Amino acid sequence: MEHFDLIVIGSGPAGRRAAIQAAKLGKSVLVVERRTRLGGVSVHTGTIPSKTLRETVLNLSGWRERGFYGLSYRVKKEIEGKDLGARLQKTLDYEIEVLEHQFARNGVRTFAGEARFKDDHHLVVADQNGDEHLFGFDFAVIAVGTSPFRPSNIPFDDHTILDSDSLVAEPRVPRSLTVIGAGVIGIEYATIFSALDVPVTLIEPRESYLDFIDREIIEEFSHDLRKRGMTIRLGAKVDRVEKDAQGWAITILTDGRQIRSDMLLYAAGRMGATSDLGLETCGVVPDERGRLKVDPATFQTDVRNIYAAGDVIGFPSLASTSMEQGRIAALHAFGASMPPAPEFFPYGIYAVPEISTVGLTEQQVRAQNIPYECGVARFRETSRGHIMGLQSGMMKMIVSLETRKLLGVHIVGEGATELIHIGQAVLNLGATLDYFVENTFNYPTLAEAYKIAALDAWNRMPRTKPIAEVMDEPEIELTRRKVAGKAGA
């Protein structure tokens, strides 16, 4: 029996970061991955495939250029499943190569097989041939991620009726698509296929979706989706799914309505992939969805030498936060100092268009009774937006009236997940609106939207001086642009 200071189950973002951090502390580390290749859900079926698919669709469809060349513009006229899969495989191979090199460089051992706990200090791993191997450990990190939830009333066949895993296994371009579930995964895939001009119907049983995002951003986003022809059915509950004589999916709602489509994606929920880990033998108890409860500061489970990180512990289920969770777990396990986590981290939704947000939403600010003001910038107000042919996209900035400090930044549109980091830095440093008003941004860039939004908020805030004494040249330029925009409209 081999013994390790740390065994990590899973090689996704949380697992890889925990393993490398422990190795850098001089500890012996083993990573157990049930797949034959490293990477976990993130590389094989989750983050990397969906974002690669998105980029492929935007490039081949000419989506970004349609503002200039019209809605009929295409880079490639006939886009097929093989076009989507080619780039996907190249990206996956590269990600795995990088991860293998990281592990090798840091002395992290890996083992392919199905892991289960024998007790709280021993792990049994069944390899590809069915042979079992016993390993001992001082500490363990469970980073197995999640798998799609498959309810019994959905007849999955992995061709017409799919979950998000089978969708990326063999991508194809359907004649029409129904997506059940308006969470992050459902929204991303629905908008990606909509960008290919596939008729898409999005079904969500709740009356709203993406509730953690500022409502004004969601209103803008929903308007954009409906404008390009997507059907959004909110408050619509699915009774069952069938297939007709032609093999098409028929979604039957509880109110009697039926939706027929060439392909159906079920994306309503995920389960923690913990059912085969033998958790009952080591004392860790999952919830009804297979997720694990941890101390939010240390990521310890109720069994103090066993940690959990990543999607398996639930919200926020982001690759970025999962990495940090894995790192903190390893640092805590071996008594290393842990810097305090930043108060605010960004969310990114890689839909078409992108959504990204950091800090408080307007709804949260109101609930906390904070006096505030908002500033808005439309991407079409920026010179860079004109150059890119952008017709939509906006940035919303929320500022405290009492302290002038930034409270939140919310963006929908091209490059949102990149732009958000400027707001993240200012927010975590506790800076004020004045940073954006007084700072110089590259011209022409979409980042100019920060100054435009800041000046828009500043214009609405109470003043002690007459407007003529405080109005500066950038504000005059902002006013000129808005007047010109209204005249052009």
pLDDT confidence of residue 131: 94
Q: How confident is the model at residue 169 (pLDDT cuts 50, 70, 90)?
A: confident
Q: What is the residue type of 352? A: V
Percent of the chain beyond pLDDT 70?
95
pLDDT tops 90 at residue 484: no
Q: What is the residue type of 313? A: I
Helix spans in 36-115 (H): 40-44, 47-61, 66-69, 81-106
- Name the residue with higher pLDDT: 156 or 65: 156
User: What is residue 15's three-state secondary structure?
Assistant: helix
Running DSSP on this structure, what letter comes out for residue 64?
G
Structure tokens at 262: 């060439």
Q: In which element (H, E) is residue 348 found?
A: strand 347-349
Percent of the chain beyond pLDDT 90?
77
Q: By the 8 A CB rule, do 37 and 11 touch?
A: no
Torsion of CA 151, 152, 153, 154, to 10 degrees: 60
Q: How confident is the model at residue 481 (pLDDT cuts 50, 70, 90)?
A: low
Looking at residues 18-29, what average pLDDT do you find?
A: 97
Running DSSP on this structure, what letter comes out for residue 27?
-
- Name the residue with higher pLDDT: 337 or 66: 337
Structure tokens at 195: 């960008």
| Neighbour-count burial for 284-310, b at 16+ CB within 10 Å, e otherwise | bebeeebbbebeeeebbbebeebbbbb
pLDDT tens digit sequence for 385-438: 989 888 899 999 999 999 999 999 999 999 999 999 999 999 999 999 999 999
Strand 231-234 versus strand 200-204 pairing type: parallel
Cis peptide before 444 (omega within 30 of 0): yes
pLDDT tops 80 at residue 141: yes
pLDDT confidence of residue 1: 86
Cis peptide before 316 (omega within 30 of 0): yes
Side-by-side strand order, sheet with 200-204: 161-162, 263-266, 177-180, 200-204, 231-234
Neighbouring residues of 289: CB distance < 8 A, sequence distance ≥ 6: 149, 269, 270, 271, 272
Neighbouring residues of 290: CB distance < 8 A, sequence distance ≥ 6: 146, 271, 272, 273, 274, 275, 312
Average per-residue pLDDT for the chain: 91
Q: CA nearest 4: which of 338, 330, 336?
A: 330
414: β partners: none
Strand 347-349 versus strand 238-243 pairing type: unpaired
Q: How confident is the model at residue 71 (pLDDT cuts 50, 70, 90)?
A: confident
Report the predicted TM-score, pTM, of the whole model to 2 decimal places: 0.89
In whole angstroms, give the CA distance from residue 334 to residue 298. Answer: 12
In whole angstroms, give the CA distance from residue 274 to residue 129. Answer: 22
Q: What is the residue type of 317? A: S
Give the lowest-confidence range in 265-279, 331-345, 458-472.
458-472
pLDDT tops 60 at residue 471: no
pLDDT tens digit sequence for 298-326: 999 999 999 999 999 998 888 999 999 99
In whole angstroms, give the CA distance from residue 378 to residue 393. Answer: 6
In whole angstroms, give the CA distance from residue 477 to residue 489. Answer: 18
pLDDT confidence of residue 66: 80
Looking at residues 166-174, what average pLDDT do you find?
A: 91
Q: What is the residue type of 321? A: T
pLDDT confidence of residue 477: 53
How far, CA to CA in Å, does 290 sit from each of 9, 284, 314?
15, 11, 10
In whole angstroms, give the CA distance from residue 79 to residue 294. Answer: 45
Q: What is the residue type of 131? A: D
Q: How confident is the model at residue 86 (pLDDT cuts 50, 70, 90)?
A: confident
pLDDT confidence of residue 485: 52
Neighbouring residues of 35: CB distance < 8 A, sequence distance ≥ 6: 44, 112
Q: How confident is the model at residue 81 (pLDDT cuts 50, 70, 90)?
A: confident
